[in-house]
Amino acid sequence: MKSNVVRNACGASLGLLTVLIWASAAEKPRTAAPPAQARAEAGASPEALIRRWPPRSRAAAALLLETYGLPDQFDENSLAWFGNGEWKRTVVHRKLSRRDGSGRTKDFLEQTVGYLVPQDKLADLERFHQLLEVSPIAGEMTFASDSEAKNRLAMNLADEIATGKRGPADARAAYLKTSRLAVSGKSSPYLEALQFEPDNTRVMIPTGADR
Taking only the tens place, the pLDDT of each residue in 105-147 is: 668 999 999 999 999 999 999 999 999 999 999 999 999 999 9
Residue 5 pLDDT greater than 50, yes or no = no
Q: Does the residue 210 lie in any domain? A: no
Q: What is the pLDDT of residue 29?
A: 41
Q: Does the residue 35 lie in any domain? A: no
Q: Does the residue 207 lie in any domain? A: no
Q: What is the mean pLDDT of the chain?
A: 80
Residue 6 pLDDT greater than 60, yes or no = no
Q: Does the residue 203 lie in any domain? A: no
Q: Are 46 and 74 in contact (CB under 8 A)?
A: yes
Distance CA 183, CA 160 (A): 23
Distance CA 169, CA 183 (A): 22
Based on the structure, what is the number of domains in the chain? Answer: 1
Q: Does the residue 134 lie in any domain? A: yes
Q: Does the residue 19 lie in any domain? A: no
**Boundaries of domain holding 89:** 45-192
More reliable by pLDDT, 184 or 18: 184
Beta bridge partners of 73: 80
Under the banding of pLDDT at 50, 70 and 90, the label for residue 24 is very low
Q: Does the residue 163 lie in any domain? A: yes
Q: What is the pLDDT of residue 100?
A: 52
Q: Does the residue 211 lie in any domain? A: no
User: What contacts 88, CB < 8 A, 6 or more positions away?
Assistant: 82, 112, 113, 114, 140, 198, 200
